[in-house]
């Protein structure tokens, strides 16, 4: 069974860059048919999709965050990463990584990491 695990600093200063890594186990990030996403959840709020990456390196970002987001992949480590620049308190959230499937019939984010809380504060 595929498992995903987020890691990275839990506290980031305003104006700095938030950096998180998602380690995938139980399956290869290089196997086709899947894309690898980041989603966040503000405290007590709903879910917001940040973006995704294919193992090939192709990326797609939420237009509302596109100017500040970079997602990259390291297939040798079976990891993918998120960088969010110029953070403010509004970026305080639980950040999740997830695996996505996009077929002719359906799209789904099926496996999720446990999430990691990132607080933006000086």
Partner 1 sequence: QSVLTQPPSASGTPGQRVTISCSGSSSNIGSNTVNWYQQLPGTAPKLLIYSNNQRPSGVPDRFSGSKSGTSASLAISGLQSEDEADYYCAAWDDSLNGRWVFGGGTKLTVL
Is residue 2 involved in binding partner 1 (CB under 8 A)? no
What is the smallest separation between the CB atom of 94 and partner 1, expressed in angstroms?
9
Concatenating the DSSP letter of every residue in 9-29 gives -SEE-TTS-EEEEEEEESS-T
Q: What would the x/- binding string for partner 1 be over residues 7 to 46, using CB under 8 A?
A: ------------------------------x-x-----xx
CB of 58 within 8 A of CB of 43? Answer: no
DSSP class of 59: E
Q: What would the x/- binding string for partner 1 be over residues 41 to 70, using CB under 8 A?
A: ----xxxxx----------x-xx-------
Distances (CA, A) of 82 to 4, 58, 70, 71, 111: 14, 14, 6, 5, 17
Is residue 109 involved in binding partner 1 (CB under 8 A)? yes
Q: Which residues bind partner 1 (CB under 8 A)?
A: 37, 39, 45-49, 60, 62-63, 96, 105-115
């Amino acid at each position: 069974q595929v498992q995903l695990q987020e890691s990275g600093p839990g506290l980031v200063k305003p104006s700095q860059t938030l950096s998180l890594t998602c380690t995938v186990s139980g399956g290869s990030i290089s196997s086709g048919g899947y894309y690898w996403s980041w989603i966040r959840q503000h405290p007590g709020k709903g879910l917001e999709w940040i973006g995704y990456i294919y193992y090939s390196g192709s990326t797609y970002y939420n237009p509302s965050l596109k100017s500040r987001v970079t997602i990259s992949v390291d297939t040798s480590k079976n990891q993918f990463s998120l960088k969010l620049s110029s953070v403010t308190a509004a970026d305080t959230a639980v950040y999740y990584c997830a695996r996505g499937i996009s077929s002719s019939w359906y799209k789904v984010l099926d496996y999720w990491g446990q999430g990691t809380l990132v607080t933006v504060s000086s």
